[in-house]
A = this chain, B = another copy of it.
Amino acid sequence: MSRIYNFSAGPAMLPVEVLQEAADEMLDYRGCGMSVMEMSHRSKVYETIIQEAQADLRTLLGIPDNYKVLFLQGGASTQFAMIPMNFMKNRKAGYVVTGQWAKKAFAEAKIFGEAVELASSADKTFSYIPDCSDLPITDDMDYVYICENNTIYGTKFKTLPNTKGKNLIADVSSCFLSEPIDVTKYAMLYAGAQKNVGPAGVTICIIREDLITEDVLPQTPTMLRYKIHADNGSMYNTPPAYAIYICGKVFKWLLKTGGLEKRKEVNEEKAKILYDFLDSSELFKGTVEPASRSLMNVPFVTGDSELDAKFIAESKAAGFENLKGHRTVGGMRASIYNAMPVEGVKALVEFMKKFEAENKHA
């Protein structure tokens, strides 16, 4: 068995301890004679699994009691529709467009009402977070929407927008649990699990209770109503039980290794190693304005697409997987989520140095 360094933007690396436990428990979960995949979701043993997952997540993030935690199916992409269907009471909302995922959420909202672009960084290929201190928010907007960490472009909001009293809804898929946050600043935050938390197939939604009502847009499917899931503890129908079980293990791993304060420290250390090298390198450079740099997704280029391709091929051969950048940005992207060890980033930088030395005068 040899594990490689996987820089995938998602699905992505998971802690090896988590995978080892899952493997050990696969045929017989703690003496109950079956796999977690085989358990009735209505059984006592599964109820404990999902309730512990929720409780551990509440501890990690300090989620107040007036917020519901939901484990849903459909991916983060389904949230792009659920959010307007459940929250667009006035059929109007403001969107800050900072990349492809914000753009998709914005386009989806237009199916249901008036979605207003409050700010955008499209002018510079989404390489920065626009100033959000004085957005053109109007009184009839139901909420303000952001994608807090932009997986593809490698940007992150360092301060949340001034929403002028409006509810803030944030897609935190690619920065979830990477550092402590103040949940009370959000009306809702949500994350597809497959970046920082677990396998694809479960989306975690944290929603302030007063927002969860039966007053949704006409013809909203039952399964797209937050209230149905909130009232049934994410068990209105069969939940993605195994994916939730793995997320629960990741939550325990985070708690055991020092919680989100420690995680922030390690993530800052990892990111600094990579950004410092990019800033000092004569061959490689980061594509993001320093003030907007993500701790999780680090896009970089050589400026020469043939050399980029060579780097991707050679890095792959050397055991660094998935460094190819998104097709809309080109170049490279290293996603260094919670489960990527410091050694993985150090090894990557060593490899980049070697590549630079070999290709400086190419």
Contacts and interface: CB of A to CB of B under 8 A. Distances in A.
Interface of A: 1-4, 6, 8-14, 16, 19-20, 22-24, 26-28, 32-35, 37-41, 43, 73-78, 80-82, 85, 108, 111-112, 192, 194, 198-202, 217, 219, 221-224, 236-243, 246, 319, 321-322
A82 B41 CA distance: 24
Nearest to A73: B73
A34 B243 CA distance: 17
B77 A74 contact: no
B34 A6 contact: yes
A85 B221 contact: yes
Given A221-B81, A223-B74, A238 B200 contact: yes
B41 A11 contact: yes
A239 B22 CA distance: 21
B246 A243 contact: no
Given A199-B241, A242-B201, A11 B37 contact: yes
A14 B40 contact: no
Contact of A217 (B28, B35, B219): B219
B77 A37 contact: no
A21 to B, nearest CB: 9
- If over half of A's interface residues share one DSSP class (helix, strand or loop), that class is named, otherwise mixed; here it is loop
A42 to B, nearest CB: 9
B221 A34 contact: no
Contacts of A20: 26-27
A34 B111 CA distance: 39
Given A6-B38, A34-B6, A34-B321, A78 B11 contact: no
Contacts of A3: 27-28, 33-34
B39 A11 contact: yes
Contacts of A73: 73-75, 78, 201, 240
Contacts of A10: 40, 238
B1 A77 contact: no
A112 B32 CA distance: 44
Given A77-B237, A321-B34, A199 B40 contact: no
A81 B108 CA distance: 18
Given A3-B33, A11-B37, A219-B219, 18 more contacts: A3-B27, A3-B28, A3-B34, A4-B32, A6-B33, A11-B40, A12-B38, A13-B34, A16-B27, A23-B26, A37-B199, A40-B322, A80-B222, A85-B221, A108-B222, A192-B238, A200-B240, A200-B241
Contact of A81 (B23, B222, B236): B222
Nearest to A33: B4
A249 to B, nearest CB: 11
A201 B240 contact: yes
A238 B11 contact: yes
A12 B26 CA distance: 14
A2 B40 contact: no
10 contacts: A2-B28, A8-B38, A14-B37, A22-B26, A74-B78, A77-B222, A81-B223, A199-B242, A200-B240, A243-B243
Contacts of A12: 38
